[in-house]
């Protein structure tokens, strides 16, 4: 019944893509349709109240899970720095080398750290730098790894791995 209401809201001329049932009482079901007028990886979502069967919203969503505008903006910012294809290329290049820089900094620290502690201004600044470096290391490695999974070239290899293991969002046939 919810799908019929959503199809009526689209005048019945769009192909059904996915249905995301309401996760909790009082929330809406997200019914997504393929709309050729939208961009790549975008679909039209109709939000239907499962109790009253009323349409609560109609919005363009992104990806197979139908993420909403804020997460879509974050995705675009993470993927291309909001600079289009050149930003996407730069972002992938940065993500590919960020872990090298992060681990290189730790290696430099390990090879050049003083044998004994001297309590002076230079050592205090160095200690602060080392503390920040260790604190940022995990974030930089995580940021690099997630950036590569969303990237165009390395991310394509991640997509192949997901396909090999069957790690896809279930689709409606």
Share of the chain above pLDDT 70, in %: 97
- Does the pLDDT value for residue 172 go beyond 70? no
105: burial class by Cβ within 10 Å (0-12, 13-18, 19+)? middle
Q: Which long-range contacts (CB under 8 A, 24 or more apart) does 19-23 make?
A: 19/172, 20/65, 20/66, 21/50, 22/50
SS (H, E, C) 19-38: EECCCCCCCCEEEEEECCCC
pLDDT at 3: 93
Mean pLDDT throughout 60-88? 84
Q: What is the pLDDT of residues 126-171, one digit of tens each?
A: 888 889 999 999 888 888 887 787 677 777 787 788 888 988 777 7
Can you give the pTM of this predicted structure? Answer: 0.56
């Amino acid at each position: 019944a919810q799908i019929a209401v959503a199809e009526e809201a689209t005048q019945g001329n769009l192909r059904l893509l996915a249905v995301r049932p309401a996760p909790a009482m009082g929330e809406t079901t997200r019914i997504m349709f393929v709309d050729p007028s939208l961009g790549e990886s975008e679909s039209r979502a109709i939000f239907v109240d499962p109790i009253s069967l009323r349409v609560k919203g109609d919005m363009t969503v992104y990806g197979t899970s139908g993420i909403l505008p804020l997460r879509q903006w974050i995705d675009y910012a993470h993927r291309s720095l909001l600079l289009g294809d050149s930003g996407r290329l730069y972002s992938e290049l940065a993500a590919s080398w960020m872990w090298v820089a992060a681990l290189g900094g730790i290696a430099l620290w390990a090879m050049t750290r003083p044998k004994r502690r001297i309590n002076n201004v230079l050592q205090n600044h160095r200690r602060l730098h080392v503390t920040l470096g260790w604190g940022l290391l995990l974030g930089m490695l995580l940021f690099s790894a997630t950036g590569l999974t969303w990237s165009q070239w390395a991310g394509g290899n991640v997509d192949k791995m997901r396909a090999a293991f069957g790690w896809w969002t279930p689709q409606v046939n």
